[in-house]
Structure 1
């Protein structure tokens, strides 16, 4: 889902969110590493049973060997400055992001769209115009030229970072009017004159057509691309010079963020992944964890953890940290869960630092939002949490304590890494708790620096820790 950016349609949508939750005091997660994305590491749970976990693996991932598995940067926000300089802006930040521990960058849709120099890219016209053809009133896209985009991707790879493309394949926009034999009217479905000359489309390639009246969903009155059409399949993911393989093999993208996947069946992303490869995550905007898991399994893809997002909003803005016991996608399968605090579409959580402390110490693939990092929040504190994620956030999760104001969880560690204990405090006063760690007779410290305590655990692994008001602390072995 995204905010539509177009001239001829006005779209309003009401979203209904359904929650599926189960309350448990201790959540120990036993998952299987996914093919192509993870290398399997054999470790042992706290009760001595073996299980498989993994580290995110890629040819360009700087933090392949690190316990946390990586952090993604959403490198844009809605209505970034127009004028064709955004790719250059991002390029100048890549070295600092890489040094901070960010391992991947998610870019907005990169091809020419209907609204030309003002478009955020979610109204695509020509998938092969990256800012090098004069159409839709501009040569460059809102973000810049093809040369500048290639320079950004090349620089990211030099910094050992991956680059993910935002893929919009539910709908198109900017076609010419044509007589449509399937509707008996004129429709804006003639894309035969696109400047790149690649993946020309007509009314036969959009619903309603010879393949049926509709698929899972349409968006905003835009022509709804028909993925059941062999011609569309061929151009999107089958042919060597089609969209997917051109983006991966020529433009050198490493993965994909699929936009508005509610609009088509999960088999589409599954087929893309099988034929193109690379990391993938889908925007299935729904708080029902059963639905998220269903989509991720059938698409063979990661999915944004909207269940986690809305639970964090309830917890940190609603003063009810007990809801963090509820079910979320990262608890079902952390290897298919991409967690986030805000993005270009939704920014509901006001207790953001607590939310970032949560996703950067827990399982899943955490995403940092550009404006949170560069403009709105404390960058040093976020960098500290990214370091903790990459170096300490290991193993499965046990929830140790919750009430309305407090939440304490333990990452149980693996492969010699000791893991951590995270303490979140949403009250107005300092809090202290006795908790059980994984460490006996061991000095620990708060790696955020929010507490100056250096306590030593008892022989039975119990210790008292503290947490500042409206804040967090993260404890691990003092080494």
Structure 2
């Protein structure tokens, strides 16, 4: 019995020895101490953004280079000269200057009380030589600096009302009026001298379109003399600004104060970029104006829909209403703030600071020519975000526009891109929580990212382009493809 037990032990030891010497699929022996478990999954690389600079689409952005009552007085032109190179690097291609000539308020004037159209800070009148913004030499240096940085300079043109002339008896009003503009009375340059015959009413014009400002000095554009000095003569306001001062285009102030044919005649004579301040929130009115004049117009329809949707009514359905850019994108100059809206005490005329970036995200992803307000860009809380939005606008904000979804607190819009440009999807939310929504994109089996940097989510579209994107609480995201 004992010998049988020893035999059994010997056989078992041989079997165990053979089993400890297994082979892999190639037949080679495998060390029993080797780890032959499944390999540990390796982390997937983070999606990489596309190089937006490779998608330069030729778009640009205009800077409104002032706010109401800018400081420092007499140093504004130099201040802007220092900022122009940085603006150009950020993608700004035009800047709109305040009225550059002497107003009745002299060194305190923002220029809208225009007195001498040819005094750029080089004549002693109204208590100062320099304008509020500085000297003529400093203005000329600013314009040169802008052109050296491929930035066009837009002049603010006030051709409705004048201010700062001398008193004279006006037989058409049967009283004394401040309608005498000559070398001793508010027009030291001696160019475009005026008297009561060139303001409404006069010997040939009884019609007075009226004015919210200085109605007794409302220029009559039907008078040949006025037309000659404003745009026809070789040294007219238009040609002097263009050919001598170097301005590249025009922002027409308060065009409700004169007929549309005036702007058309000006542009037919001298051309140049043009945008009219027609303060009306109806897209149909703006549309009629640009068709009649050939000028662009500030898209007040978009401004008010943004204010209503984000602020007043908190209903993003308003963002799907009629706006000028929908029919005339090349003529619609969009904006979220300007010198008037920011100083206006009417809360329905400005967009709250807490909603500004959502408004900028809208105008910088939709068609139209966006304007950045100086005070917003120079706000350290906003600047980097605005720079990022400008980069997106000047690269992937292209293609047909389609609203994919809209309700009271969500708005999703797609730019279709082109054969060589991926386009984008904008998702705005005014909800207090993160929102996600599945939409139809133009991208199949592609991982996306938010180029605004407001979301770290990286969804992947399916084979049909369907993808679930998100918007942060009370914020926005801008989706496009990754490498």
Aligned to 1:282: 276
Match of 2:387 among 377, 383, 396: 383
Aligned to 2:190: 197
Greater shift after overlay, 128-137 or 290-299? 290-299
Aligned to 1:342: 337
Spell out the pairing of 1:379-458 with structure 2 (5 A cutoff).
379-414=383-418, 416-458=420-462
Match of 2:301 among 307, 312, 325: 307
Match of 1:124 among 114, 117, 141: 114
Match of 2:199 among 173, 191, 206: 206
Distance 1:160 1:172 in 2: 33
Aligned to 1:324: 319
Deviation by residue 1:289-332 (Cα, 9 ceiling, x = unmatched): 11111111111100011111110011111320011110011112
Alignment pair present for 1:476 and 2:480: yes
TM-score, scaled relative to structure 1 = 0.85
Deviation by residue 1:356-401 (Cα, 9 ceiling, x = unmatched): 0000000101011011110264211110000000001002210000
Distance 2:376 2:206 in 1: 42
Aligned to 1:46: none
Aligned to 1:221: 214
**Aligned 8 A contact 2:163 2:214 in 1:** no
Match of 2:360 among 356, 361, 372: 356
Distance 1:180 1:463 in 2: 72
Deviation by residue 1:198-245 (Cα, 9 ceiling, x = unmatched): 111111110011232334331323410011011110111111111001
Greater shift after overlay, 77-86 or 224-233? 77-86
Aligned to 2:241: 247
Distance 2:287 2:196 in 1: 34
Alignment pair present for 1:88 and 2:90: no
**Aligned 8 A contact 1:82 1:117 in 2:** no
Aligned to 1:265: 259
Distance 1:199 1:376 in 2: 44
Q: Where in structure 1 do 4 or more consecutive aligned residues deviate above 6 Å?
A: none
Shift of 1:82: 5.0
Distance 1:462 1:374 in 2: 39
Distance 2:129 2:89 in 1: 34
Deviation by residue 1:328-356 (Cα, 9 ceiling, x = unmatched): 11112111101110100013111111100
Give the unaligned 5+ runs of structure 2. Answer: 1-52, 343-349
Aligned to 1:149: 139
Match of 1:167 among 157, 180, 205: 157
- Structure whose residues are more often helix by fraction: 2
Distance 1:171 1:422 in 2: 42
Alignment pair present for 1:113 and 2:107: no
TM-score, scaled relative to structure 2 = 0.84
Distance 1:87 1:414 in 2: 41
Distance 2:123 2:462 in 1: 68
Shift of 1:442: 2.1
Shift of 1:184: 2.2
Aligned length: 416
